[in-house]
Each structure stands twice: as structure tokens, then as C-alpha cells.
């Protein structure tokens, strides 16, 4: 297990965020990430990063929290491929939950591809439950599963 340091991301972290995004399975548009981080729209969208606790402190992964009224929306969670399965995603998600609770959100909700068994396993470990299925939600026609959990998030024993 890895114990990363979790921090808010700013425009200074843009190169590392773009690097991890570009190498991921479903990259976001660079323009969207640039605008989110450079225009400092932290009131609406919050980027949290997990950093290694070594002097050069590389970014290991990040998560993006949005909101709809009193519900936090996990818009993205992404861990650098070489650091996966070491607990980084779990730590990031717990931090997103704490952040959402601090912002007075009642629940955290997300959408995940039906085929993304790894992410679904992670969410289930943190007590997310399926709410409904959005048929053909993704551009390739794949279904999305909508999951949510109460806050603060709890690790299932
Ligand atoms: C999903 C993701 C964020 C998980 O990050 P991670 O740092 O590897 O997650 P963790 O190490 O904290 O995993 C915690 C648990 O989740 C489950 N899990 C995570 N990845 C898994 C995988 N690929 N297969 C099966 N179970 C997995 C396991 O139960 C794991 O515990 P274990 O390693 O003790 O068995 C990472 O795989 C990723 O970035 N994927 C690409 C982006 C993505 O799919 N994001 C989700 C979009 S909705």
C-alpha cells in the first residue's frame, strides 16, 4: 500500500495532470482541463491530486469533484498506470468524500462504464451502491451504471 499526500491541484500542476490524462484509457479534452485549472474555477469544480511523499513528489493520480445542488459528482478519478493497485485510488476517493462533506454535500454520485470492473470494485469497497442504469450513455453505446454513497465515505471491512 502507498500512503500518498493529497492536495488541491492548481494551474502549476497542469503538465503532470495532462501527462496522466493523455496516457489514460479515455482522455478528457486538454482544453477542458486547462480551463478548469487555469481559470481557477475551484468553487464549481475541485481537482484533488495524490502525490508521492518523496522529494520530487510526482503526481500519482487525481480526481475531479463537481456538484449538483447538495450532491457531489465524482467527474473523474484516474491513477497513473504504474501506480495502480497500491491504494492510491482509495485514498483519493476518501479525500474526495471528505471534501464533498466539508462542502455540505449529502451524497457522492458517479457514472461508470458497465465494463469497468476494477472501478466498480473500488466504488463497492467504499460503500457505493448502484442507483440505476443509463442505457447507451457512452459514445460507443455502452451502458453507464449510476452509483452513489452517503458521506463521509466508509471503507467496507
Ligand atoms: C479505477 C482506478 C482509479 C483505481 O485506482 P487504484 O489506485 O488502482 O485503486 P486501489 O489500489 O485503491 O484499489 C482498491 C481496490 O479496488 C479494486 N480494484 C481496483 N482496480 C481494480 C482492477 N483493475 N481490477 C479489480 N479490482 C480492482 C480492488 O478491490 C482494490 O483492492 P485490492 O488491490 O486490495 O484488491 C484506476 O484503475 C484507474 O485510474 N483506472 C482508469 C480510470 C478509470 O477507469 N476511472 C474510473 C472512471 S468511472
Mean pLDDT by 10 residues, the chain (157 residues): 91 97 95 89 84 92 95 98 96 97 96 98 97 97 98 91
Q: Which residues pair with 144 in a beta bridge?
A: 113, 134
The ligand 1 atom at the shortest distance from the C-alpha of residue 123 is 16
Residue 16 covered by a domain: yes
Report residues whose beta carbon is within 6 angstroms of any ligand 1 atom: 24-25, 77-79, 84-90, 110, 112, 116-119, 121-122, 125
pLDDT for the residue 128: 98
Residue 15, domain member (yes or no): yes
Neighbours of 73 (CB within 10 A): 19
Three-class DSSP category at 19: helix
CATH number at residue 43: 3.40.630.30
Domain range for 60 is: 5-109
Residue 131 forms part of a structural domain: no
Residue 130 domain flag: no
In a domain, 154, yes or no: no
Residue found under cell 451504471: 145
* 71 is a domain residue: yes
Number of domains in the chain: 1
- pLDDT value of position 55: 85
Q: Say if residues 112 and 123 touch (Cβ distance below 8 Å).
A: yes
Amino acid at each position: 500500500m502507498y500512503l500518498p499526500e493529497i492536495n488541491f491541484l492548481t494551474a502549476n500542476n497542469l503538465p503532470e495532470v495532462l501527462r496522466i490524462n493523455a496516457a489514460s484509457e479515455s482522455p478528457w479534452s486538454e482544453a477542458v482541463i486547462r480551463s478548469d485549472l487555469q481559470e481557477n474555477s475551484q468553487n464549481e469544480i475541485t481537482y484533488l491530486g495524490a502525490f508521492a511523499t518523496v522529494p520530487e513528489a510526482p503526481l500519482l493520480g487525481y480526481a475531479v469533484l463537481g456538484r449538483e445542488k447538495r450532491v457531489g459528482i465524482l467527474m473523474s478519478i484516474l491513477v497513473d498506470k504504474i501506480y495502480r493497485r497500491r491504494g492510491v485510488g482509495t485514498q483519493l476517493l476518501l479525500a474526495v468524500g471528505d471534501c464533498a462533506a466539508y462542502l455540505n454535500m449529502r451524497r457522492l454520485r458517479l457514472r461508470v462504464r458497465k465494463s469497468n470492473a476494477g472501478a466498480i470494485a473500488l466504488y463497492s469497497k467504499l460503500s457505493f451502491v448502484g442507483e440505476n442504469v443509463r442505457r447507451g450513455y457512452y459514445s460507443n453505446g455502452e451502458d453507464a451504471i449510476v452509483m452513489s454513497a452517503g458521506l463521509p465515505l466508509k471503507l467496507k471491512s
